[in-house]
Amino acid sequence: MMLKEKIAVVTGASRGIGKAIALELAQAGAYVIVNYNGSKERAEKVVSEIEQKGGKAEAVWCNVSDGAACEAMIRQVIEVHKKIDILVNNAGITKDSLLMRMSEADFDRVLDTNLKGTFFTMHYAARYMMKQRSGAIVNISSVVGVSGNAGQVNYAASKAGVIGMTKSAAKELASRGIRVNAVAPGFIDTEMTQSLKEKVITELAKQIPLGHLGKAAQVAKAVRFLASDDADYITGQVLCVDGGMVM
């Protein structure tokens, strides 16, 4: 129960890696704000699963690409819980296309959610963390933000931006006792990859030194570590959970 009595906000937590992070933090004792934008039903199912396992959570709507909505969500957390100890920026989308075919609208939508969304939540949460003189922020980037990927100019730009923002925020906030780190997942077995053909997954696995896709729970454990006091001398770092892809 290393996170007992901690208040944690996890964006995009209704499925996939976000869901795994919410479950992991709750299992470690945190009260988890399960943020969602699309499906309230999915988010409430995550809350129910957490409660069935003895944890505590609630579902809160917020479109992270909307600055006013982010401010309202963080304010609501403070009004109800009086503090915010952990912020995990996981919400993200993809709109893949080759550079020459990518529309400006698809470029902007990915940057608005993945990059500006991370900025907005950090911007508003940090105000309260600075007053507390404590807090841990973990931003979910991607190995694509480190190495690039054909057909994902927008996504790679957003995730590389998250890394730059993480390091800059870590330098700004360290004197107030706030740590800011990033986790960069590689190919992870989620609903998105489960829709791929077996041949495609086999080819993906060949790019991974450990020889197989990762699990969302493995990413979640890395997040839990960085959010905990076990990582109290770690800030401004990017932890790749990728089976060795970008070593």
Report the catalytic residues: 155
- State both tokens at 203: 């080819």
Distance of CA 161 to the CA centre of its chain: 14
137/116 Cα distance (integer angstroms): 15
Bridge partners of 238, per DSSP, are 182
**What pairing do the DSSP bridges indicate for beta strands 56-61 and 86-89?**
unpaired
Task: List Cα–Cα distances, 155 to 54, 94, 106, 181, in angstroms.
Answer: 36, 6, 10, 19
* Residue 241: strand, helix, or coil: strand
Place of tokens 């907005």: 120
Element (H, E) at 127: helix 117-132
* DSSP string computed for 119-178: HHHHHHHHHHHHHHT-EEEEEE--THHHH--TTBHHHHHHHHHHHHHHHHHHHHHGGGTE
Residue type, 226: L
CB 125 within 8 A of CB 84: yes
